[in-house]
Amino acid sequence: MLARRRRLPLRLVRCVALLAALGLVLLMGPGAAAHALVASSDPADGATLASSPSQIVIMFTEQPDLKRSLIQVLDTSGHKLAGGAPEPVAGQPSTVVRIPVTATLPKGVYTVSWKSISAVDGHLATGAFAFGVGQAPQPGSAKTTVKTPGPSEVAVVARWFYLYGLIGLLGLSFTELVVLRGRSSPARLHWAMAASWVVAAGGLAGLTQAQASGAGLGVGDLLSSSIGRALLLRGVPLLLAGVVAALVLAGVRRLREAGVGPLAVVTLAAMLGEVLKSHAAASTSWTWLRVGEQWVHFVAAGVWIGGLAGLLLSLGPLGPGSRGPAARRFSFWAGIAIVAVGITGTLRAFDEVGTWHGLFHTGFGQLIVVKIALFGLLGLLGALNRFRNVRAVEASPRGLRRTGGAELVAMAAVLAATALLQNLAPARTAAAAGATTLSPVVIDANDFATTYRLHLTVTHDTAGFNTFALTVSDYESRKPAKIDGTKITFHYTDSPAVGDSSLQLARQPDGSYKAQGANMAVVGHWLLTVNVSNGVHSVDVPIDIVTQTQPEPTTSQAFQGSPTVFTVSLPGSRSVQIYIEPVRLGKAEFHATFFDAKGQELKMATFAAMAFRMPGGSAALLPFRQLSQGHFVADAPATLGTYSFSVAGTTADGDALGATISLPVA
């Protein structure tokens, strides 16, 4: 009776872990898939152009398969006016593609419809955005859409089998090479190697079929696609592993001993092939470092869990006197593997999630939390084995078998979560894909002598890479001015530590000037000096601008007789509370108060606020007064309507903070 009570918790652990694995596969399968989503475009979503564009340029979050992806320009009747398979842009990263627009688009609103198949992992995504020529897209008339078909149960289960098969191949090879170390390995170990290969091969076949079906590819088109290339990258080393495993299973003893080493090597190559078609390979910087982290993570899991399976299979044939040394050797290497899994997993989670909000408020981040919880369970079971069951294995292997079996079942749940993660866009990718939700900032200005009128459009006015488009016209006639050239100098007003920079704008066929650059690299208030070069008529025009920030979690509180207060989350668990006093006597007031993580008012060293009426209004800096160390009030626009407000400033410690929010002035 007592023995049954002791076995009950471990049986319960196995059941819970198995149910978790099945639940992850069957219930969470329909989540949003990855991965080549639109990060930015030219024309931008919602942009209004003065004349017909000569091309459509899109930057994706991952490299698209050019042969299988599609970009089209449609009019309001759905007629195709331009488009086809995209082509690379010279001098740009492989994520940037274009299609030419040879026809002259008349005044109107147009939709860019796109379909991408990721060259990294073969996933399909579709979407659309709108722009206007001589006419602004009306709100709601051309809504931006993105659709990423959810991973099918077949794809998730197939990847689950594939990962478990590779882990089994590596771990069983590790058992024979390191754990048993020269002792005659039991036949069941070699049969398990063959079974692991069958599981991995079946999983790879199912995964490829599911991806090809989702992308609409036939057998004849498979090998010429990114999905087919991924099959070769994964399948060739796996095929070699199958040949070696067959020789090990059928060969004489010497052939078996000589074949296990090559089997481990080709399995490591197959694992690398899988990693090269994962999120890590889609990184835009330090790619090989991230690939290395993911590969070490995968290999360490194979040594730990696959090696545990090999040890459990070998306990009976080893017998007393041999079980103890083998178990202790495995325990030593498993301890190293657990540490490696924890460190590399943390690095990969930080890279793919990036923020606490992304961890707890996105499907990808929530699966990371599930993996962390399951990893904790595995760690506890591993500790129980290391400090209790390994010591008692000579007397009886029963405890090690029971706890080890629970570890293997828990690992099944971890791999189910991993299979789902490979079919979801990382939180950072999703955030990058959402960057196009910000409206371009338009600023109208003129020089002191009223020689020129300037119309500057900044897309998307965020900290980092932006597009600057400028038109210069005569102040009196409002006709395009003939000038020699123009450039913009950037000065960050919030800190002298950020040096000034400049950006030369290139003349466009329509007479405007355009350039792209990451000159506004920090959140905050920037002073742009636009130099219009035209001999003795050259002028410098100062323009103030506050960077926009991507939407952050926002809550609102309505109070009877008082304005609604909006609280926007900021990095470091800080926040800013924003509200607008109603218009009275032709005047409205905009309030912003910064708070620290404890809810105390945050001492701010600098502050700036900018607003523009939506859609397409000219942006302007708002004059403000400081009421307390973190509370500022600015003169809001008095004209009724919906406005985009951007606030930014630096704390007393030098941290740059900012928020963008759309609010009505009523």
For the chain, which residues make up each domain, given as ranges?
2-29+152-432, 38-142, 438-546, 554-665
- Give the pLDDT confidence score for residue 530 in this predicted structure: 95
Q: Which residues pair with 115 in a beta bridge?
A: 70, 126
Distance CA 656, CA 606 (A): 9
Orientation of helix 307-318 relative to helix 187-215, angle to 10°:
160
Q: Do domains 438-546 and 554-665 have the same CATH topology?
A: yes
Helix (H, G, I), strand (E, B) or coil at 68: coil
Distance CA 439, CA 139 (A): 12
Tell me whether the omega of the peptide bond preceding residue 361 falls within 30 degrees of 0, making it cis. Answer: no
Under 8 Å between Cβ of 297 and 348? yes
3-state per-residue secondary structure call for 141-198: CCCCEEECCCCCHHHHHHHHHHHHHHHHHHHHHHHHHHHCCCCCCCHHHHHHHHHHHH
* Contacts of 242-246 spanning 24+ positions with Cβ under 8 A: 242/197, 242/201, 245/169, 245/190, 245/193, 245/194, 245/197, 246/194
Q: Which residues pair with 569 in a beta bridge?
A: 575
- For 438-546, which CATH superfamily applies? Periplasmic metal-binding protein Tp34-type (2.60.40.2480)
Pairing type for strands 641-650 and 656-665 reads antiparallel
Distance CA 297, CA 342 (A): 8
Q: Which residues pair with 554 in a beta bridge?
A: 568
Show the tokens assigned to 622: 């708002």
CATH of domain 38-142: 2.60.40.1220
Helix (H, G, I), strand (E, B) or coil at 216: coil
Best CATH choice for the domain 2-29+152-432 from the list 3.40.1350, 1.10.260, 1.20.1630, 1.10.357: 1.20.1630
Q: Which residues pair with 617 in a beta bridge?
A: none
Closest by Cα among 145, 642, 658 to 437: 145
3-state per-residue secondary structure call for 176-187: HHHHCCCCCCCH
pLDDT along the chain (666 residues), means of 10: 43 46 40 60 81 89 83 76 89 86 88 80 73 69 45 74 88 86 76 90 86 67 73 88 82 61 88 80 70 88 86 79 81 86 80 63 66 77 78 76 78 68 52 56 92 91 84 93 92 81 89 86 90 91 92 73 83 89 80 91 94 85 93 87 90 89 82
Q: Tokens 């990382």, residue?
A: 426
Q: How many helices (H) and strands (E) does the chain have?
A: 13, 28
The number of beta carbons lying within 10 Å of the beta carbon of residue 93 is: 11
Distances (CA, A) of 469 to 150, 548, 559: 38, 17, 43
- For 554-665, which CATH superfamily applies? Macroglobulin (MG2) domain (2.60.40.1930)
**DSSP per-residue codes, 498-560:** S--EEEEEEEPTTS-EEEEE----SSSEEEEEEEEEBTBT-EEEEEEEE-B-----EEEEEET
Distance CA 409, CA 91 (A): 50
